[in-house]
Structures are given as structure tokens and as C-alpha cells.
Amino acid sequence: MNNILVISKHGPYHQQSLRESLDMVLIFAAIDQQVIWLLEGAAVLSLVKNQRPSAQQQKDFTKAIGMLEIYDIESVYVCADALNEHGLSTDDLAIEVQIAYDNDKRALIKQVDKVVTL
């Protein structure tokens, strides 16, 4: 079993990048890989509660985020700087996350076998 860190950096509706990250996280978990998901920059916006992607004529991937728990993905981190930049707190997010500061991000990278950045 590999430990894999998936880092998402783009906003939720930026060329389906976030959807691809979510799919990758779910696929890795489905094949019994240990997965950590880190959302940086505008990617944290994908976790905001009560989104209405249909208003932007986008597919609603937010329901799939709720599936993370079903796949035993418990290690979801959000960058503290990204939360601050977008004026968010963990209370604004649809799922439970852990806050990652710069030292935490470096530690996450060191503890995994592979890093995938989207």
C-alpha cells in the first residue's frame, strides 16, 4: 500500500481540475491506497457549504465530496493561508478538515510515497 498526497490548487470550476482531483482521491482510496488530500489556494472554495454549481451551468460534484468518509478518507487538509485569503473558517466548509500550516505541508510531503499535484 502506498501513501499518496493529492494537492489541489485550482478553484472548483477551473477546467474541471477540482473534479479530477476528487476523482483521483476516490480512485486511490478504492484501490486500498492511503490517501491524504490537501487543498490550497482557490481549491478551498470547493468545500464551501451550500454551493449551487448549476447556477454557473456546472456539474454538481459537491455531493461526491460527502463520499470521502465512505471511502475512509479522513485526512483532508486545507491551507490556513487559503482560508484566510478567502475569508473562510472551517465552520464555512461542508466537511470536517484539518488546518495545514507551512510546516504541516512540508511534513505531509515527507510522510508519503507519492505526491500528485493538480
pLDDT in tens, 4-15: 999 999 987 667
* 100, β-bridge pairs: 79
Average pLDDT for 88-112: 94
Does pLDDT of 49 surpass 60? Answer: yes
* b (16+ CB within 10 A) / e for 18-45: bbebbebbbebbeeeebbbbbbbbbbbb
| pTM greater than 0.85 | yes
**Band of pLDDT at residue 70, cut at 50, 70 and 90:** confident
Q: How many domains does the chain have?
A: 1
CATH number at residue 50: 3.40.1260.10
Does pLDDT of 116 surpass 80? Answer: yes
Alpha carbon distance 10, 18 (integer Å): 7
Does pLDDT of 59 surpass 80? Answer: no
Q: Which structural domain range is residue 10 located in?
A: 3-117
- pLDDT at position 54 is 54
